């Protein structure tokens, strides 16, 4: 089970800088003005051999006084519900504010471990100021400077020490794991119930360590797989559903623990920013994808043309990754429900496809010779040999070339499309590497 660390705190205390420091990226837009972090804040971090995800809840706040505190309160509640460790960031140069006190009062009631991070402690004099954060009633404040990085090593040690010891879950490694994801009201619970049915006997719950039940084993009608995080889906969520980023944070765990994600879209709503956020989480974690357009029974005109237009619209929004199954279904009438499972199973098989080296070279080399990479600065690029890497999460291919640095993205995409046309890899991401021969 992946551990999840959430960063909370009022604006401008340096949450994004800390996020960047933990995930070693500069992906947050950091800027002096309040409330500028608009990027979906999600990244991975590793310390002492433990990998975990980091979510910065900041930057989703509507900046007006009255709504403002309410928004922060929602973020904090969400962080407590979803994360294994909460980092509460405060600013030494400002001391304790009313808003800090309000956040602290919610956190004190939480069962989740909380670490008070006193940020902007750039010199020793400021360390003495950190003492006033004891008044928050959340234990020792940890002095760091997210900007210069001082103190972050100790902080990481502490974070990792707070993770629960994992009891090993009894999962059969060779059985696919499917996650149903999508924004609120797209019909996740209905489709899970349609799969599972109320016939409890075919379903074995496997207790997860972090939440009620993470995996549900399903074997019936020739299918055998785990559904990930069905408990969270089946009981209606506690936090008000209207939160912009709520469903994204909810999805992180399920996506990380699955092989194939079944992304539910609502036929009556079209594709929204929310769907794209969840899609990009699936992409960043290199998971298989099946798109289900749910509530198809509610669409007035169900002609082939309407379907085709819908399908094109989806592929355009999700480009450049366009090779995935799209199924028009209805969880309510159970129309094409098994088609969804079949597609997920096929995508899982595509993820584990091995293409013999001889076949790769036979099929692709003549094509590459006919359409070589464009020459660069008068140098001709030759690709001599192709092979698939063993034991990778998704099919990954190495093309050996004399001048790998000159092979650019568009050509890599061309190679990917050639592979997809020849072998059934629908729904799975593919990695293309160009290496020196």
Strands 223-228 and 177-181 turn out to be: parallel
pLDDT of residue 289: 95
Domain boundary, last residue among 289, 320, 350: 350
CATH number at residue 414: 3.30.300.20
pLDDT of residue 39: 45
At residue 357, does pLDDT exceed 90?
Answer: yes
User: Based on the structure, what is the number of domains in the chain?
Assistant: 3
pLDDT of residue 64: 52
pLDDT band at 372; cut points 50, 70, 90? confident
At residue 60, does pLDDT exceed 80?
Answer: no
| Whole-number Cα distances in Å, 418 to 329, 363, 369 | 30, 10, 13
CATH number at residue 123: 3.40.50.300
- Retrieve residue 79's tokens: 């962080």
State how far Cα 422 lies from the chain centre.
29
Point out the annotated binding site: 9-16, 56-60, 119-122, 182-189, 229-233, 294-297
Please indicate, yes or no, whether residues 110 and 6 belong to a single structural domain of this protein: yes
pLDDT of residue 245: 60
Please indicate, yes or no, whether residues 129 and 207 belong to a single structural domain of this protein: no
pLDDT, average across residues 310-331: 88
Q: With contact defined as beta carbons under 8 Å apart, do 80 and 2 qualify?
A: no
pLDDT band at 269; cut points 50, 70, 90? confident
Q: What percent of the chain has pLDDT over 90?
A: 17
Please indicate, yes or no, whether residues 251 and 126 belong to a single structural domain of this protein: no
Q: For 96-123, what is each residue's pLDDT tens digit?
A: 888 888 889 888 888 888 988 888 877 7
Please indicate, yes or no, whether residues 300 and 324 belong to a single structural domain of this protein: yes
Domain boundary, last residue among 130, 160, 190: 160
pLDDT of residue 210: 41
Please indicate, yes or no, whether residues 201 and 300 belong to a single structural domain of this protein: yes
Containing domain of residue 290, as a range? 175-350
Answer whether residue 170 is part of any domain: no
Point out the annotated binding site for GTP: 9-16, 56-60, 119-122, 182-189, 229-233, 294-297
pLDDT, average across residues 219-237: 70
Half-sphere exposure of 427 (CA within 13 A, CB side): 28
Greater pLDDT, 30 or 248? 248
At residue 362, does pLDDT exceed 70?
Answer: yes
Please indicate, yes or no, whether residues 274 and 368 belong to a single structural domain of this protein: no
Greater pLDDT, 202 or 117? 117
DSSP-based helix, strand, coil % in the chain, nearest 5: 40, 20, 40
Answer whether residue 165 is part of any domain: no
Please indicate, yes or no, whether residues 337 and 402 belong to a single structural domain of this protein: no
Please indicate, yes or no, whether residues 258 and 317 belong to a single structural domain of this protein: yes
Mean pLDDT of the chain: 80
């Amino acid at each position: 089970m992946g551990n999840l660390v959430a960063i909370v705190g009022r604006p401008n205390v340096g949450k994004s800088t800390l996020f960047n420091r933990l995930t070693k990226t500069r992906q947050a837009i950091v800027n002096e003005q309040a409330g500028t972090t608009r990027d979906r804040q999600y990244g991975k971090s590793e310390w002492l051999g433990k990998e975990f995800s980091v979510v910065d809840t900041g930057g989703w706040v509507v900046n007006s006084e009255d709504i403002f505190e309410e928004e922060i309160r929602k973020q904090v509640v969400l962080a407590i519900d979803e994360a294994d460790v909460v980092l509460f960031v405060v600013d030494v140069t400002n001391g304790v504010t009313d808003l800090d006190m309000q956040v602290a009062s919610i956190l004190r009631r939480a069962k989740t471990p909380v670490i008070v991070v006193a940020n902007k402690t750039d010199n020793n004099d400021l360390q003495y100021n950190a003492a006033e954060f004891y008044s928050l009633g959340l234990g020792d404040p940890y002095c760091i400077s997210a900007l210069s990085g001082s103190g972050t090593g100790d902080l990481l040690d502490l974070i990792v020490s707070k993770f629960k010891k994992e009891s090993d879950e009894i999962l059969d490694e060779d059985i696919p794991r499917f996650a149903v994801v999508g924004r609120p009201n797209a019909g996740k619970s209905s489709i899970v119930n349609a799969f599972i049915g109320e016939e409890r006997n075919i379903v074995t719950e496997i207790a997860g360590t972090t939440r009620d039940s993470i995996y549900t084993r399903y074997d019936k009608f020739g299918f055998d797989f785990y559904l990930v995080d069905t408990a969270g889906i089946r009981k209606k969520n506690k936090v008000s559903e209207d939160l912009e980023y709520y469903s994204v944070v909810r999805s992180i765990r399920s996506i990380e623990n699955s092989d194939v994600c079944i992304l539910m879209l609502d036929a009556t709503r079209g594709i929204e920013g929310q769907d794209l956020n969840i899609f990009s989480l699936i992409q960043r974690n290199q998971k298989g994808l099946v798109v289900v357009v749910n509530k198809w029974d509610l669409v007035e005109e169900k002609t082939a043309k309407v379907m085709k237009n819908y399908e094109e619209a989806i592929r355009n929004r999700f480009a450049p990754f366009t090779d995935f199954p799209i199924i028009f279904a209805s969880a309510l009438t159970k129309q094409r429900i098994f088609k969804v499972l079949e597609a997920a199973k096929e995508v899982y098989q595509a993820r584990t496809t091995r293409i013999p080296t001889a076949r790769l070279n036979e099929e692709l080399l003549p094509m590459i010779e006919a359409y070589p990479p464009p020459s660069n600065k008068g140098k001709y690029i030759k690709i001599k040999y192709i092979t698939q890497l063993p034991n990778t999460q998704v099919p990954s291919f190495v093309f050996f070339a004399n001048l790998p640095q000159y092979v650019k993205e568009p050509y890599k995409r061309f190679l990917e499309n050639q592979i997809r046309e020849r072998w059934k890899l629908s729904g799975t991401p593919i990695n293309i590497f160009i290496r020196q021969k």
